Amino acid sequence: MANLLVAVSLLVGLTSAAGAPTGWTALPTKAPEPSANPGTPAKIELGKMLYFDPRLSSTGTVSCFSCHNVMEGGDDHRPTSMGVHGQLGGRNAPTVWNAAFLSVQFWDGRAASLEAQAKGPIVNPVEMGMPKLDLAIDRIKRITGYQASFQHAFGNDVKIDENTIAMAIAAYERTLITPNSPYDRFVKGDKKALTAQQQRGMQAFADVGCTSCHSGPNFSGPALPEGTGFFMKFPIYLDNPYVARYHLLDDGGKAVQTGKSEDQNVWRVPTLRNLTYTAPYFHNGLVKFIPEAVRVMAATQLNKSLSDDQVADITAFLESLTGEFPAQTMPRLPPTPGDMLE
């Protein structure tokens, strides 16, 4: 919790005493990458292949792309995602777009990096359903067409294992960023980039208190060292109709992972970028529309009831956070050998 208190203190300066927004920053045009896993064209291309390859799942039917559709918003528009054998997961799929700017991954922050996150769904019994990572590794090794790609990405003496698979996927995911939104252009000096309503919404976003959590260029909190995580309790205020209507207390959040009472209903703060592409909202995917999500957050996090005009203005501002998506193409995957067919 010490990290959380430090992070909150960093956010206080986002609004001046008069409420005027200060400290707004644009999304960088390149995501940070660890020195141990620099992105190269060969590694990124390999990671893209693995990201799209359903053979990493037990049934050969589910890939990273299945739940995180990079041809659109980086999620799947389901309240909770569908994995192997039609099973439904317990939480909404977070967008993969701009995930590289988060200091921890998953709603509960249990993965310290994109590399760590990439390993999780493969062995999740509901998601990709592999009993062990070793079985997924063995399958990739048996697809002989992958050998040259791994050598090109990591060198001739590469070991195909859970780490090189995860490193390649993470390298690809770090290319999935969406800069140059109208908001980004505005804070860089193009004062015509936002409409008058969006500018009012930007002011209201700060005045109401949204920046106490959703700050920084990714609107997911301050930039913190990888593995630190920026978390908030949700919901905080319970005396409103939204808590019961949207079952906001049903999932214990971070506490499910840690078993600690202080982590009950604590969540990693999500990005607010590209919300027009990522409905439904929240960890359980039960809110379908941005204006309703704004009302829910104001009531449960700030104990405030907003006017229709405030909601409309803030919604317009949030829509200005939709950036430019780099073009994506489906990769050609290496062929499945006959001895893998049933």
d(CA 262, CA 59): 38
Using the structure block, give the residue that is written with the tokens 């060198």: 155
Assigned architecture for domain 2-30+179-319: Orthogonal Bundle (1.10)
**Domain definitions of the chain by residue range:** 2-30+179-319, 41-177
In angstroms and rounded to an integer, the radius of gyration of the C-alpha atoms of the chain is: 21
* H or E element in which residue 232 lies: strand 231-233
Q: Pick the catalytic residue: 127, 173, 292, 319?
A: 127
pLDDT of residue 6: 39
Q: How far apart are CA 220 and CA 270, in angstroms?
A: 5
pLDDT on residue 10: 40
Asked if 83 contacts 93 with a C-beta cutoff of 8 angstroms, the reply is no
Q: How far apart are CA 218 and CA 103, in angstroms?
A: 11
pLDDT of residue 21: 44
Taking a C-beta distance cutoff of 8 angstroms, is the pair 201, 313 a contact? yes
Those residues whose C-beta lies under 8 Å from the C-beta of residue 107, and which sit 6 or more positions away, are 91, 92, 94, 253, 267, 268, 270, 283
Q: Give the single-character DSSP code of 104.
A: S
Q: Find out whether 266 and 274 touch, Cβ atoms under 8 Å.
A: no
Q: Please, which residues have CB within 8 angstroms of residue 320's CB and are 6 or more apart in sequence?
A: 181, 182, 183, 186, 193, 194, 198, 201, 202
pLDDT (tens digit, 0 to 9) for every residue of the chain, 342 residues total?
444 433 444 443 343 333 334 589 999 999 999 999 999 999 999 999 999 999 999 999 999 999 999 999 999 999 999 999 999 999 999 999 999 999 999 999 999 999 999 999 999 999 999 999 999 999 999 999 999 999 999 999 999 999 999 999 999 999 999 999 999 999 999 999 999 999 999 999 999 999 999 999 999 999 899 999 999 999 999 999 999 999 999 999 999 999 999 999 999 999 999 999 999 999 999 999 999 999 999 999 999 999 999 999 999 999 999 999 999 999 999 999 888 877
Beta strand 231-233 with 266-268 is: antiparallel
H-only helix segments in the chain: 2-11, 41-52, 64-67, 114-123, 133-142, 145-154, 162-173, 182-187, 196-208, 242-245, 254-258, 290-302, 308-319
Concatenated DSSP letters of 189-202:
T-TTSS-HHHHHHH
- CA pair distance 171, 153, nearest whole angstrom: 11
**Its pTM surpasses 0.95:** no
Tokens linked to 197: 């309503």
Within this chain, domains 2-30+179-319 and 41-177 share the same CATH topology: yes
| Residue 127 appears among annotated catalytic residues | yes
41-177 folds as Cytochrome Bc1 Complex; Chain D, domain 2 (1.10.760)
